[in-house]
Amino acid sequence: MTAFIDDIDTYGIVTVEFSTFMQTDHLNLTNINSTYLDLYIMPSEDWHVYDNTFSIDPQTNMTNPCLNFTWEVFKYKDDQMFFNLTFIDHVEVSPQVLRDSLVIHVKNVSDIFYARDFRVLHPDNRTLYGEIPK
């Protein structure tokens, strides 16, 4: 079974499309969290390396807050999962001509990423990429 990021709109709504209908009955969406998924921004062309206002704390290895965001799954039905991204500073995302990418990495397939026919998300499709619009 495969998956891909189908769309990221300017309001931070992300649509992930699966190749088949998923087993979503009786699933509490609030349980889909960082235990199962890592979401982060990958800056295009490493622009953050050349930006004087961008910094990485050497003790925590965390970036300055300009690319931070929160996320939640608000709908998961049939062959689609929908996320809402809330950026700390949306102006800082995709500041260059080439857009930054959203990365969704499935860390734990568990009982959340199974198809109705009991197929599991293929290991090659557990890291998804999508361009974030300006």
* pLDDT tens-digit map of 73-113: 999 999 999 999 998 766 666 666 678 889 999 998 887 88
Segment 8-27 mean pLDDT: 94
State residue 130's pLDDT score: 94
Give the number of domains in the chain: 1
Residue 22 belongs to what domain range? 3-131
* Residue with the larger pLDDT of the pair 72 and 110: 72
State residue 5's pLDDT score: 97
Confidence of residue 65 (pLDDT cuts 50, 70, 90): low
State residue 68's pLDDT score: 77
The answer to whether residues 69 and 86 touch, using CB atoms and an 8 Å cutoff, is yes
The answer to whether residues 67 and 86 touch, using CB atoms and an 8 Å cutoff, is no
